[in-house]
Structure formats: structure tokens, C-alpha cells
Structure 1
Amino acid sequence: MSPTQTFALRILFPAAIGGLIATLILLIAPEWVLPQVATPVQEPQPQQHVASNVPAMQGPVSYADAVNAAAPAVVNIYTRKVVKRRTNPLLNDPALRRFFGESEQPSDRMQSSLGSGVIMSNEGHIITNFHVIEGADEITVALFDGRDEEATLVGSDPESDLAVLQINLPDDIAPATITNVDGHDVGDVVLAIGNPFGVGQTVTMGIISAKGRNRLGLNTYEDYIQTDAAINPGNSGGALINAYGELVGINTAIFTQSGGSEGIGFAIPSDIAHRTMADIARYGTTIRGWLGIEVQEASPELLKSLKLPDELTGLLVTGVFPEGPAEQAGLAAGDIIIGLNGDSADNAVDAMNLIASLRPGDKISVEFLRRGEQLTTTAFAGLRDQPEN
């Protein structure tokens, strides 16, 4: 081997071996040779916690569609009645009358009032409050578009503060769309439409604050929707609608210490108003069930006086109408009613409303206690007489 070949083997062979090793290292473990670059660490982003039991916000931003759907069925009501002024008995003396002159004699005057109403049928029936039209000699209805119609009084129900009017309804105006308050909950949005202070049709917004309000001392039959939608004088008889423009109730009264709205208003549920309207339109009066009994809630004082257990709840029968439905069913004074149609009977107002909701001939199951024994009977509702206005 020549010196040149020997030099090449000594120099090039180790270099080739080194290159081969370096290549293998780069392929198998590059991190041993290449510089390491730090991987940027992403800072954790704040999480937006959404409670699983809270529904997403729903409902319209504007309630214009609801108002446009309901407003044409809401009317303004203007009434007039002749009020006779009292005359001084001394003026009955002809001499005194000549002295003061005939022109000085007191004369009758015309008194006006206003309210609201809701068109309930294609036949032009309008529901309003009895106190809006009570004693009126003339009733004028102003429609949504400004047209005036003379109204006639079909009938009234003072015990629920409702009355039914009728007008010649123009073909281009539809009655209100009615919904049942049972499908609504406390907190649902409602709108009140009416004619407060005679300024013209006005819309206010609130929520359903409570349902089933009674014992307010306003009427015999009370089952009100409470709302904080502003209701003022002139709103009486107007519409309480939901966010879809459906009639929920008839605005009736407010609780106030100043005379204005203080966020506590009451409306008669639409199903009660519709039933009253239908009864009056067909029969001229409201049809209510009747059992012919007088009851008293079993208060602790009453139970103690009767030597009955303090935990007992129910309605003590204090009187039974002779030959009435209750007597025919076997009930007697001294019985304690503990259930009506499967529901507990511990509230006299609720029991009265339940019985009144019956139609004559409807069955009602009555559970009661007599001398410590629990008994059950079935009564058939009679027709409650309508008191004279």
C-alpha cells in the first residue's frame, strides 16, 4: 500500500465513521444535538360559569306585537247619569219660592265617569267592571280607532264586580284572545291596557306578583291576580295581557294610600270573566253552584270550645238550609267538613269559590266528621239565587 493510500485510510475512514454516527444521532435523538426552544405556556382563560338550572334569557325585547294584537279589543267607556240634588224642605213653601225666585231652585245635574272594557265576542259583548257602569243612564264605548258606539247593558254581577255591555261591533275589529291564568306563573310578564285618568289608551308593564288573592274585602267572590303593572283610575275593566297578547285578566282594583298606583293591583282571571260574560249573555245572570250551608273555619279557639283536637282542620257546619242540597246529602249542623272533591277543606273562601264554580246538578264529594267518625257523602249542587242589585 502506498503512503498516499495509507494516509487516506487514516484520515478519511474515521471522518466517514464520525459522520455516519452523527447522522444516526440526529435521526434517533435530535434533542441531544439541537438547541431546545422553550414551548410557550398558555395562561388559563377565565371560565364563564353558567348555572345549569337557570334557563337562557328568552322573550321579546319589545312587546309591540303583543300590544298590537290585544289593543284593538280594549275600549274606553264613558258613562253619564243624572244626579238629583237634594232640595231644602223650606223651599217647598210657595212664599219662599217666590222670594228666592224659580231660577234659584236646585236642578238635576249630569255626572260623568270613565273606565275601560274588553271586547269578548263577535256579537259585540264587552266585559267591564260593575262599578264602572253602576247607575249609568248612558254608556258610550270609544273603540281603538276613535269610533264611538252606544252600548246597552246586558247584565251585571255585583258579587264579582263584573258587567256585560253590547255594541254593534264593526267587522274589522276582533275580540280578545283569551288564555287561562293556570298556565301562567308568578314572575311572568304582563301588560295592563286601559284608559287611566281619561288620557287615552295606555300600556303599562309588570309581572304577575301573586295568584289566588282573596280576603281583600272588595267583593263576595274574590280570586284575584296580583300585579305590579301600573293600574290607575280609568284602568278598571281594562285588559291584563301576557307577552303574546292573550287576555289573562280584567283589571279591577288597586291597593293605594295615595290614590295612585303603588304597584299592587288586582285583576279578575280571564276564565272567570269569560264564564260570567257567557252566563249573562245567555241567561241574563251569573250561574253559580249552591249547597245551602253556612260554615266557619275550625280555628284553635273554636276547636278548644268544642273540646276537639287542636290539630284538626276543616270547616264547621253552623247552619243548613232546609231541603237544600247539603241537607239532602245528609249533612247537618255540627259536622266538620274536611274534604271537598278530594281536596282538603280548611279555607272557607276557597270552599265558597269551589262550590260557586259548580253548575246546578254537578256532583261534589264531601268528606266530614261526625262525633269522631269520618264519613263521605255526595251532594248535587243547586242554583244560587242572584241578589238584587
Structure 2
Amino acid sequence: MNDRVNSDTTTSRKILRPRRLALLGTVAALGVAVLAASPGYSPFGMTSLVTPAHAAETAASTPPGFGDLVAKVKPAVISVRVKIDRDNDKSAMLQQNRMDSDEDSSPLDQFSREFGFRFPEGRNGGMNGMPRQRHQVITGEGSGFFISPDGYAVTNNHVVDHAESVQVTMDDGTTYTAKVVGTDPKTDLALIKVDGKKDFPFVKFAEQKPRIGDWVVAVGNPFGLGGTVTAGIVSASGRDIGNGPYDDFIQIDAPINKGNSGGPAFDMNGNVIGVNTAIFSPSGGSVGIGFDIPATTAKLVVAQLKDKGAVIRGWLGVQVQPVTAEIADSLGLKEARGAIVDNPQDGSPAAKAGIAAGDVITAVNGTAIKDSRDLARTIATLAPGTSVKLDVYRNGTSKTMTLALGELPNEKQAQGGKADEGKAQPGTPRLGLSLAPAAEVQGAGQKGVVVTEVDPQGPAAQRGIQTGDVILNVGGKAVANVGEVRAELAQAKSSGKNSVLLQVKNAEATRFVAVPLA
């Protein structure tokens, strides 16, 4: 099976479960105690390479144990147990997109094995081979941590998603009932609350991002083994694992497993640097690659969940994609940075401000934008109604545009006979496409040219252009027929460009594609 990024508990991404529990024996390393009467003495008659001065230096550089840190933060970490009523229509969604290697197993068996849920009727949901009971209750476990003495705690959205009841267990074994205050699926964070006390142990979020190589300690409830502590280092930052538009994960190598979801990762000062969320694993267990939601993100999300029960994000209203080296070359940009606008959505703040397809947004309020993800995260941190200044590159020149952000809707997505390229003039680049005016092809609309056939060996096919796609413009110029396409290709070639930028629309979205000029 292929390796993939998996969420470590009740997520829709598959975890490949190990078929048995591997027991790791402890091997004691036997060494020789060297009693030195003088520096460098060795009982074997050789000079020791480890002098007392070197030994002292090594001891001084060895990191201390984590006992004091763990004693300080562990009481604030909780195990989170949920119950999900499968008769609830929403909970049925949890079974979608889940697969298992056993072809003859039912969805409920797959659900049980992959995510550790327990069924009241037994493993197969029935007794002695009898049919399953109609009413099913699923239980699952994750982790969390208190962030205030009055009982507010953070966990993952996928831990409490669709939960009928939530129960938390503290490090001393005390159990409480919790309620879900709010969730944010886009960042996979949730805020829960335990009422009735004002003196819960709690921890704080770190004020600064950790450095790569810094120590990190994870505490959680892996495989139901509450209060488990693991340690490692920060391996990387800014990871995009395809979880959503705001991916900015911290990668750690402190072992986290199924059940660690929602638990904290601490720095050496006892502050939370991230929320354990996902693992990369071919087996379902830790292979030393885990992903945490950064504290900077969690703080902003949790504050809104506490105040409003939901996260309200700013909305620009554009579909964007990264500026690749080929796109930068076709536009005359010196660097492959920024986000190119595929399509401004009708009635959006961007459309009202005059932002057009093909514009490259290079900065927001004077801060440079690295790519499309960076733009999405930056805009999402701003409140609706905020006035922002966008640096926009258009047709070889830069300009600054000011607009007021809207409120991000729940969901918004743009929608969207044979003719040949014919005989081109000598020297005109060929893309490997057969085209026809869109107005002449039923259902293609009135703008652009329709791709009626694709040469699988041509440059356009290599860039993902398919039959049925509609090319709206070439090199920044709108096209309506094959002749206009040829003219723009020839113009791009004569200008010394190595690739040409096409605006392409299909049923799902509008995007820009940089195609090499063959």
C-alpha cells in the first residue's frame, strides 16, 4: 500500500492499521567502568580517547531530563472520550471515504479496526452471527488540554465531530462531562468546556514559533493509554499536508499515535507550541513524523470559538494558484512568488475593487506574499470589513489597490463539433491541441475556444489540459477563435518567452496554466 498522511484518530483519511502489537524488548548495554588513576588511563594498556575534561564538557552539553517539565504540565492534559449515535444522519458521514485491505469486511468492521471504536454488541455489531442491531453507538478517544482554570480545553475538531456526548478524564483519574463550545473544521480545532470548577490546572500557548531543532515534549492518550509522554525535536515547519487551505503544520519527531489527536506539544518552558493533529505512517503507528497545528493559529481560532462559537474569516473572493517559474517567465516576473488570480468571484470584494484574472497579488499591507496558501492564511487572519492594501502586478507594472474584506461564505466555488489548429505560419508554436470556437460547441458558453482533441505527447497534455476545457485567453489576451490563439502564440514566441500563459476553464474551476512553447 502507498504511504499517506493520516489523521491519528476519527478522521476520514485512512490509517493503515498494524495487524499485531509489536513488543519491543529492552536491551541493556553493558559497558566497562574505567577507573582512571590519571587522565587518559585505560585498563587495556591504551590511552583513552575520553579525557576527564572531555567527559565534563560532554556532560554539560547533555540535555537534562524532562521530569520537572512533565510534572508541571501533565496535570493539564486530558483524555477525551466521545460517543456518536450512528442513527444520527450526520454521523453517517464519518464512514465515507474509508477503506480497508480486507475486501469482505463491512464498513462497521473497518471503522472499528481503523479507529479503535468499540461497539456495545461486540466486534461485529451483533451476537453469535445474528444480524446487526439497527441502533449503533460508537465510542472514540482523543486528547486535549485545559487553557484556563475555569474549564476551557482545546482538542481537535475530528475528535469531537458529531459527538452526542463528551467525557474528559484528568491525569488523576477524575472524570467530567464536557460540552462542545465551538469547532473549526478548516483548521481541525475545537473548544470544549467543563463546568463546575474554577481551579483546573492549565497551560498557555507559546508566544513565539519554535525553531527547527528545538526540543518538544508531547503528552496525550495514544491507544487509550492516557498520560503518555514522548519527546523529540521540531523537524520542520510550514508543512502543507493537503488538509485544507490554511495548512501550516509544524512537523515533529516526538512519537504520536492514534489517540494523541488534540493533545499538546510543549517547549522546554512548558508552553504549548502546537496541537497534535496528524501522522504520516505506512502502518498506523508512529514512524517519527507527526504534524501539529501551530500555537499562533490555535490562539486566534480558540479566541473566536470562545467569543462566537465559530470562526469568522475575512474574504477576498478570488481563486488563486501559486506562481511557478514558468508562469513567472511568461508574465515577465523576476521571481516565482505571489499568487496569480484564476478568477475573481462575481460580487466579491476583489471583483468590486477591479482585480482581474491574471493579476498577481504580491503583498498584503506591505507584507510579501509567498504563494497562494500564504495569501489564504493572511486574509483569513483578518476580520470582515478590514481595509487592506494589495500590491498587484498586471501587464508588466505594479500597482496598489485598496479594498474592504467581506465575510468568508461557508462554501463558494466557481463553475464553469471538431475543428483543428489548422495550418499555422512557419515558426508558430504548436500546443498539441485541436480547437473550436466555444460559441459553436453546445454547452461550452460564448467565450473562448474549446479543446476538442489533445495530442497526448504535446506540451498542453503534459500540463494537464484535457478535452472539453475552454481556453479563455492566451498570454493575457482574450481569444475567440483558432486564428487569435495562433497570433498570441506567435507574439509570445517573438517576444522571447519560453512559455505562454493560458487561462483555462472546466466544470470545476478556472485556472492558469503555463505551457512551454515547443
Task: Tell me which interval the TM-score lies in, with the shorter structure as reference length.
Answer: 0.7 to 0.9
Deviations 1:56-75 (A, max 9, x none): 95686122221122111110
Residue 141 (structure 1) aligned to one of 150, 168, 189: 168
Q: Which has the larger radius of gyration?
A: 1
Given the alignment, which residue of 325, 332, 357 partners 1:309?
332
Provide the residue aligned with 1:11 in structure 2: none
Offset of 1:301 from its aligned partner? 4.6
Task: Give the residue type in structure 1 aligned to 2:84.
Answer: K
Residue 42 (structure 1) aligns with: none
Contact 1:195 1:234 in 2 (8 A): yes
Quick one: distance in 1 between partners of 2:343 and 2:411? 20
**In the aligned structure 2, how far is the partner of 1:171 from the partner of 1:339?**
45
Q: Which amino acid aligns with 1:360?
A: P
Question: For residues 240-277 of structure 1, what are the alpha-carbon distances to aligned partners after superposition, in whole Å with 9 as ceiling and x for unaligned?
Answer: 00112111111001100111001110111122112211
Does residue 240 of structure 2 align to residue 240 of structure 1? no
2:282 maps to what in 1?
257
Equivalent position of 1:170 in the other structure: 197
One-letter code of the match for 1:290?
A: W
Give me the whole-angstrom Cα distance separating, in 1, the residues matched to 2:248 and 2:335.
26
Would you tell me which structure has more helix in proportion to its own residues? 1
Cα distance, 1:387–1:201 mapped onto 2, change above 3 Å: farther
Cα deviation per residue 1:148-182 (whole Å; 9 max; x = unaligned)?
A: 11111111111111111111263442321221342
8 Å CA contact retained: 1:296, 1:317: yes
* Structure-to-structure mapping, 1:1-389, within 5 angstroms: 61-84=64-87, 106-168=133-195, 170-182=197-209, 184-214=210-240, 216-302=241-327, 307-309=330-332, 311-313=334-336, 314-387=338-411
Aligned counterpart, 1:89: none
Q: Report the Cα offset of residue 281 of structure 1.
A: 1.4
Aligned counterparts of 1:275 and 1:162: Cα–Cα separation in 2 = 11
| 1:285–1:386 Cα contact (<8 Å) kept | no
The superposition leaves residues 73-95 of structure 1 with CA deviations (integer Å, 9 ceiling, x where unpaired) of 11000111222499xxxxxxxxx
1:96-137 Cα deviation digits (max 9, x unpaired): xxxxxxx96733122111000111223322111111112221
Superposed CA offset, 1:201-225 (max 9, x none): 10000011111112x1123321111
The alignment covers a number of residue pairs equal to: 318
1:290 touches 1:383 (CA, 8 Å); kept in 2? Answer: yes
In structure 1, what is the Cα distance between the partners aligned to 2:131 and 2:340? 61
Which consecutive unaligned segments of at least 5 residues does structure 1 have? 1-45, 87-102
Alignment partner of 1:151: what SS? strand
1:178-201 superposed Cα distances (whole Å, 9 cap, x missing partner)? 21342x211110100001100121
Structure-2 residue corresponding to 1:36: none
TM-score (norm 1): 0.75
Which residue of structure 1 aligns with residue 38 of structure 2?
A: none
Distance 1:170 1:59, change over 3 A: farther
Give CA deviations for 1:294-330 in whole Å, capped at 9, x if unaligned.
11223345457xx433745332212113342223333
Q: Equivalents in 1 of 2:219, 2:201: separation in Å? A: 16
AA at the equivalent of 2:360: I
Q: Distance in 1 between matches of 2:167 and 2:218?
A: 21
Task: Measure the CA separation in 2 of the matches of 1:346 and 1:81.
Answer: 41
Q: How big is the alpha-carbon RMSD for the aligned residues of Structure 1 and Structure 2?
A: 2.8
* Shift in CA distance, 370/309, structure 1 to aligned 2, threshold 3 Å: closer
Query: 1:293, CA displacement in angstroms?
Result: 1.3
Determine helix, strand or coil for the equivalent of 2:331: coil
**2 CA distance for matches of 1:325 and 1:276?**
23
| Contact 2:331-2:395 at 8 Å conserved across structures | no
Per-residue CA shift, 1:10-49, capped at 9, x if unaligned?
Answer: xxxxxxxxxxxxxxxxxxxxxxxxxxxxxxxxxxxx9x9x
Measure the CA separation in 1 of the matches of 2:84 and 2:262: 19
- Percent identity for Structure 1 against Structure 2: 36
Structure 1 runs, 4 residues or longer, greater than 6 Å off: none
Gaps of 5+ in 2: 1-48, 93-105, 107-129, 413-518
| Distance 1:119-1:328 versus aligned 2 partners, 3 A rule | same
Q: Does the aligned pair in 1 maintain the 2:214–2:234 contact within 8 Å?
A: yes
Change in CA separation of 1:209 and 1:198 when aligned onto 2, cut-off 3 Å: same
Please, which moves more after superposition, 241-250 or 329-338?
329-338
**In structure 2, distance between residues paired with 1:316 and 1:109:** 48
